[in-house]
Structure 1
Amino acid sequence: MAVCNNKKKVLFIMGSTGTGKTKLSIHVGSHFPSEIINADKIQVYKGLGIITNKIPESERRGIPHHLIGIIEDPEFDFTPEHFSNHVIAAVEHITQQGNLPMIVGGSNTYLEFLVEHPTLDFRSKYDCCFLWLDVSLDVLFPYLDKRVDQMLEAGFVDETREFYQPGADYSAGIRRAIGAPELDEYFKVENDVNVDNDHKQELLKDAIKRMKDNTRALAQGQLSKIHRLNNELGWGLNRIDATKVFEAALKGSAYQSLWEDMVFEPSKKIVQSFLNNASEGKTTDE
């Protein structure tokens, strides 16, 4: 694989939750010899595949994935230091295979630690290109609500029940995942014969509402962090605006051609330019 100034190349795909990072990474990985490194601090844990949105093996198109489901202890505190050590080891392995490492996910605090920590000195060792998938929040929010409803239909309540533990700590480990804390009150009384079913259903309904609210808050917080990384720390993110794609999806319109034209094609050009050493991977933010 080509290098610039003796630096190995690393592609980052960033964005708020639900903006299509995984889909784009698979698209990019299908066109360039690549391997994907997960940058979601909850997806590193084994289990809760629905609420953590882990990509199934069947949808990976044979592209190797790293740091997904590697932690079996649900209470293990996977820190930014752990994340960075795993990522750097994966980057070295992938580049030795002649492939492009793609670091994909929305845990921006962990990404900042990786890129900015002076001891790691990541930017001086690696040539970085940052793709930022952006969707206007007024369009993203209803999409996220719909995604929670789809998770409900897919069985996230049954899935989460397996991780329920009375008095569990929801501040660390896999139980930080949005959906697990919200369902705690419901699971406490689910099998209590002294609690009427109407009250149980109200608790479940409230849990789903809070899950939607907290997912929206997460997306908004992630967006604020991305703006800070770009504007204050000068990461030079390449912004890809996918708002019109999501508008079409919400309306039930055909959106695949929009995705190709507005998301994948611009991304492909940026990555190709980055790999050709034509630039540092920076383009004008439209």
Structure 2
Amino acid sequence: MSNSRQGLSSKNPFYRRKDKVVFVMGATGTGKSRLAIDLATRFAAEIINSDKIQVHRGLKILTNKVTDEERRGVPHHLLGVVEPDDDFTADDFCSNALMAMESILSHGRTPIIAGGSNSFIDALVNRTPDFRSRYECCFLWVDVSMLVLQSFVSERVEKMVELGLASEVRNIFDPKADLSRGIRRAIGVAEMHNYLTIEGSATLSTEKKAAILASAIEEIKANTCALASRQLKKIRRLKGIWGCRMHRLDATETFVKKGDDADEAWERTVAGPSTAIMYEFLFGENPIVGAFKPAENPTAGVIGATALSIPMPWPLLLTSIYSNNRDLV
């Protein structure tokens, strides 16, 4: 039986236990997709994208879409499914997200809604009729110190440039296109407009063109950092509405460290506490209660079915994480 669809209460035949949904939130670049995929591989779950730009086809580099390899076999919904020039409103998101949620729940799995468009999540949770009477929500907020995040965002833009950001935007460039519609709203399209307009000019020197391109890249960095700041303000406002249902995970240490140390910090400060929070949310008990054994396949996503699909030494590690982060729950 599904962990969320328990049928009617024997005490009240008209009572229906709420279906459960998990939201992974955070400013751009904080690791929302990584956490959502981590959780989906440890639980029987699927991911619904709530990023208003990533819902469109195209611009995989610029919009930082997760690759097939990064998805690790986890089904994703509303990711790259809308035509580049089509609009996709909050109402469109709500109707499509609800259909995806019902499909996921009907297969006994948990929906994880992840993305940076907090206006979409706000519309779904706070303005969709009967949503909160039908669904029980758990909100996981991945937070990173703004100064650290700004440095990371700048580095990420540089990597995008190396991967072919300019060529990708060039492929959809149209000097007469409406930059307020569809995927062209993505940060990086408008900023590259001036450079792409003049790059073929025979009257400008190579040095001048390079300077204009460098200016566009710096503008992309600045506007992405400004977006992160706006997103953080929105999340804090939602935190005031949702209160203890929103759990803040501080991922700053992960972004300061490198290599294996960064991965260890991620598990200890973000993935581990989130696993404990989600387990208690779904099953109503402290995840350390009872004996755990590792599943044969640690990415099977079978929590609640057979065994906790987390490799050793997770039982001991979870005990430490959970006791040291009880305030998160």
Q: TM-score, normalised by structure 2?
A: 0.82
Q: CA deviation at 1:194?
A: 2.0
Q: Is the 8 A contact 1:115 1:121 kept in 2?
A: no
SS at match of 2:112: strand
1:134 equivalent to 2:110? Answer no
**Code of the aligned partner of 1:277:** G
Unaligned runs of 5+ in 1: none
Mapped to 2, the partners of 1:58 and 1:120 lie a distance apart of: 37
| Alignment-mate amino acid for residue 100 of structure 2 | A
Question: What does 1:101-140 correspond to in 2, within 5 Å?
Answer: 101-117=111-127, 119-140=128-149
Question: Which residue matches 2:159?
Answer: 150
Equivalent residue of 2:82, what SS? coil
Partner of 1:190: 199
Partner of 1:222: 231
Q: Confirm whether residue 13 of structure 1 aligns to residue 24 of structure 2.
A: yes
Question: How far 1:120 moved relative to its partner?
Answer: 2.8
* CA distance in structure 2 between the aligned counterparts of 1:150 and 1:28, rounded to whole angstroms: 27
Q: 1:257 to 1:15 in 2, by over 3 A?
A: same
State the partner residue of 1:267. Answer: 274
2:169 and 2:73 mapped to 1: Cα distance? 28
- Could you say which residue in structure 2 is the equivalent of 1:178? 187
Partner residue in 2 for 1:82: 92
Consecutive unaligned residues of structure 2, counting only runs of 5 or more, are 7-15, 287-325
Structure 2 match to 1:255:
262
- The question of whether the paired residues in 2 share the 8 Å contact of 1:229 and 1:235 is answered with no
SS at match of 2:23: strand
1:173 offset after TM fit, Å? 0.8
Q: TM-score, normalised by structure 1?
A: 0.93
Where do residues 194-213 of structure 1 align in structure 2 (5 Å cutoff)?
194-213=203-222
Describe the SS at the equivalent of 2:278: helix
Work out whether residues 36 and 63 of structure 1, in 8 Å CA contact, stay in contact via their aligned partners in 2: yes
Structure 1 residue corresponding to 2:68, chosen from 57, 60, 67? 57
Equivalent residue letter for 2:123: F
Determine if contact 2:137/2:245 at 8 Å carries over to the other structure: no
1:100 aligned residue: 110
Aligned to 2:327: 284
Question: Counterpart in 1 of 2:317?
Answer: none
State the alpha-carbon separation in 2 of the partners of residues 265 and 69 from structure 1.
29
Where does residue 169 of structure 1 map in the other structure? 178
SS of the residue corresponding to residue 55 of structure 2 reads coil
Q: How many residues of Structure 1 are paired with residues of Structure 2 in the alignment?
A: 279
Shift, 1:203, TM fit: 1.0
Rounded Cα–Cα distance in structure 2 between residues aligned with 1:187 and 1:195: 13
Q: Does 1:44 align with 2:51?
A: no
Do the aligned partners of residues 253 and 101 (structure 1) sit closer, same or farther apart at CA in structure 2, a change above 3 Å counting?
closer
Identity of aligned residues (%): 44
Q: AA paired with 1:230?
A: K
Deviations 1:138-178 (A, max 9, x none): 11110110000010111111011111101222122100111
**Which AA in structure 1 matches 2:237?**
R
Counterpart of 1:2 in structure 2 is 3
